[in-house]
Structure 1
Amino acid sequence: MQIIQELPSNPGNQCVLALGNFDGVHLGHQRLLKSGLEQAAQKGVDLAVLLFEPHPLKLLFPERVLGFLTTPKEQMKLFSEIGVDRVYLVPFTKGMADTSPEGFVKDILVKLGVIHIVVGFNYSFGALGKGTAEDLQRYGQDYGFGVSVLQPQTFEGKVISSTAVRKALLNGDAVQAKKLLGRTYKLVGTVVEGEKRGHDLGYPTANLKIHEDLIIPKRGVYAVWAEIEGRLVHGMMNIGMKPTFHEEYALTVEIHFFDFSGDLYGMELAICCEEKIRDERKFNGFDELKGQLERDALKTKQVLEEIFENPVQAVNAH
């Protein structure tokens, strides 16, 4: 898969273009991309995706907590796995933010050599998002490309969306998030030094500095796994503010791996969040917390054993 970081000066090779933010590349996004692949195969051209760097919301609302569902690296990996041929990763500027809907079509889309575009029903474009999917169809008639508008994908009667996935994670419902994503949610970060209190409790942990802008699920204990040094390792993760030991403390993410010993400092890990075991709570001292951790570990192992004994669930986890 090619990643192209500038707009071509002239229309290049023709393509079918998928438009959207694709935050999370959830099941709805996957259906849209597969529709694009079908169109591209019929027309004998590449499937391309257009994205902006930085994300438009980061430029327009720098104070906003964004809570993305994938890192850029993971997003590119997912595109490649689905079969996207080209990703145009174009610099986003304030000038571009002021571009009219027709200017967006004429000055950007046409330069990509598009002969067909696939978008979701709620796609918007141009300054202030004034352009709609219906407008895009009208511009397509003027500028010579077709447009397919996909209706919303649903799960259990509700629309699959990035917002719905974020809501599930903020509610601690990692199982629901997995159903909407079509895979386990990955919390990505770098292992850093912590308080080392886990060693005293018998549960040493890897403390994770989470990748900028990624959403962090609701505080609590989770059954998780990660691929470390080429093998799958199960563990339990705590997201919280250590209320047993601190009145006030920064939110921390720490993972105890059940069958791993080694130096992880500085390593980037992708922690796959399967299921929340319990909410965060304050304990009456060291012994009560240690007893709860033993029960958490037992429950976590049971949850993960059930998942990985089920071939379908295990495949979806990846």
Structure 2
Amino acid sequence: MYNEFMQKGSVVALGSFDGLHIGHMAVINNAKNLATMLDAVPCICTFSEHPLKVLAGKEPPALFAGDVKDEAFRSTGIEVVKLDFASIMHMSPEEFFEEILVKTLHVAGVCCGFNYTFGDKGKGTPEMLDRMCAEHGVVFEEAEATVLDGTPVSSTRIRNALAGGNVELANRMLGRPFKYRQQVVDGDKRGRTWGIPTINQPYPEELVVPRHGVYASRCIVDGRTYFGATNIGVRPTVRDNDILSSETYLLDYEGDLYGKYVDVCLLKFLRPEKKFESFEALEAQIRNDIATVQKIGELDVLG
């Protein structure tokens, strides 16, 4: 990769890219297009961990994690350079430009978003980056804010949408369904006694938590896709603790999934989680949820 940068030069998309949402993709696509024009190598330059984890000891809830995150970056089709934030956080903007962009990445072009900052205490701005690029004969492009429904797209806005149960808005901003991948574990098998077996998965600890409740979902099992009714929450009717979990009934699936990894993509919020007065009432509601998802699957209106 670095030999290619030396030979042809690189066009770098700069950012934290903590969600790879449509605003982030605008920056990345600018880099890909500019690289084609300059006959250079496009790449993403980001951090191996969120800067706030280093600065404050705690990072915002993730919008993707683990293999899902790696796959999202691979789907861009270009190389990813992950910098160790702790080792460069005290570089001045000028040092960052010279040491990282010029000497390491051999930039021919630089792309960033309108609110990108870099260097010690985030002192570097797009305007400063534009000036430095001009001084070095490097092409610079700044992406404007990506606006959806009159408001700029941001990772914070996506987190808020998910927390409020507006998964459809979150998915529009992400440019893909909100997804997690977890191993199927043993449950209490109560659904099996009702003829509606479910898969139980621990909810990823680092991931943003959507509004507790039931969602229409699309699940991927061994490369095949199934619609599902997914409950995210603490299952208050069947247990008395605050352990967060994901429980899904897969439509038209038969088989044993214990120990396997299943992708769950949330598509639409159906109802909030609640504590039912009886297991019979819970069973009846689950059947209603499944019927709702069945109709959604038949219409396939959620993409």
TM-score (norm 1): 0.87
* Partner in structure 2 of residue 108 of structure 1: 100
* Partner in structure 2 of residue 255 of structure 1: 248
Q: CA RMSD in A?
A: 2.1
Which residue among 18, 43, 47 is the counterpart of 2:42? Answer: 47
Deviation at 1:193, TM superposition (A): 2.2
Q: Does 1:29 align with 2:21?
A: no
Whether the aligned pair in 2 keeps the contact of 1:190 and 1:210 (CA below 8 Å) is no
Which residue among 50, 61, 80 is the counterpart of 1:87? Answer: 80
Whether the aligned pair in 1 keeps the contact of 2:202 and 2:244 (CA below 8 Å) is no
Are the structure 2 counterparts of residues 157 and 87 from structure 1 closer, same or farther at C-alpha, using a change threshold of 3 Å? same
- Aligned partner of residue 12 in structure 2, secondary structure: strand
- Aligned partner of residue 229 in structure 2, secondary structure: strand
**Within 2, Cα distance between the matches of 1:73 and 1:89?**
16
**Within 1, Cα distance between the matches of 2:291 and 2:263?**
23
Which residue among 250, 260, 268 is the counterpart of 1:275? Answer: 268
Whether the aligned pair in 1 keeps the contact of 2:40 and 2:108 (CA below 8 Å) is no
Q: Does 1:264 align with 2:257?
A: yes
**Within 1, Cα distance between the matches of 2:110 and 2:70?**
20
**Within 1, Cα distance between the matches of 2:242 and 2:69?**
32
Deviation at 1:116, TM superposition (A): 0.9
**Within 2, Cα distance between the matches of 1:240 and 1:81?**
30
- Aligned partner of residue 291 in structure 2, secondary structure: helix
Amino acid in the other structure paired with 2:220? E
**Within 1, Cα distance between the matches of 2:205 and 2:136?**
39
Deviation at 1:49, TM superposition (A): 0.6
Deviation at 1:188, TM superposition (A): 2.2
Whether the aligned pair in 2 keeps the contact of 1:37 and 1:83 (CA below 8 Å) is no
Are the structure 2 counterparts of residues 265 and 57 from structure 1 closer, same or farther at C-alpha, using a change threshold of 3 Å? farther
**Within 1, Cα distance between the matches of 2:20 and 2:228?**
25
- Greater Cα shift, 189-198 or 171-180: 189-198
Deviation at 1:235, TM superposition (A): 1.0
Which residue among 38, 43, 47 is the counterpart of 2:33? Answer: 38
Deviation at 1:11, TM superposition (A): 4.9
* Partner in structure 1 of residue 131 of structure 2: 138
**Within 2, Cα distance between the matches of 1:260 and 1:34?**
38
Whether the aligned pair in 1 keeps the contact of 2:200 and 2:248 (CA below 8 Å) is yes
Which residue among 167, 171, 180 is the counterpart of 1:178? Answer: 171
Which residue among 269, 281, 287 is the counterpart of 1:288? Answer: 281
Amino acid in the other structure paired with 1:77? E
Whether the aligned pair in 1 keeps the contact of 2:8 and 2:39 (CA below 8 Å) is no
Q: Which runs of 5+ in 1 are unaligned?
A: none
Q: Does 1:228 align with 2:249?
A: no
Which residue among 105, 111, 117 is the counterpart of 1:118? Answer: 111
* Partner in structure 2 of residue 77 of structure 1: 71
- Aligned partner of residue 254 in structure 2, secondary structure: coil
Runs of 4+ in 1 over 6 A off after TM superposition: none
Q: Does 1:157 align with 2:159?
A: no
Identity of aligned residues (%): 34
Amino acid in the other structure paired with 1:97? M
* Partner in structure 2 of residue 202 of structure 1: 195
- Aligned partner of residue 184 in structure 2, secondary structure: strand
Amino acid in the other structure paired with 2:90? D
**Within 2, Cα distance between the matches of 1:39 and 1:108?**
19
Deviation at 1:12, TM superposition (A): 5.9
TM-score (norm 2): 0.91
**Within 2, Cα distance between the matches of 1:75 and 1:258?**
27
**Within 2, Cα distance between the matches of 1:187 and 1:224?**
11
**Within 1, Cα distance between the matches of 2:243 and 2:253?**
27
**Within 2, Cα distance between the matches of 1:211 and 1:244?**
22
Are the structure 2 counterparts of residues 121 and 72 from structure 1 closer, same or farther at C-alpha, using a change threshold of 3 Å? farther
Are the structure 2 counterparts of residues 99 and 197 from structure 1 closer, same or farther at C-alpha, using a change threshold of 3 Å? farther
Whether the aligned pair in 2 keeps the contact of 1:65 and 1:213 (CA below 8 Å) is no
- Paired residues in the alignment total 301
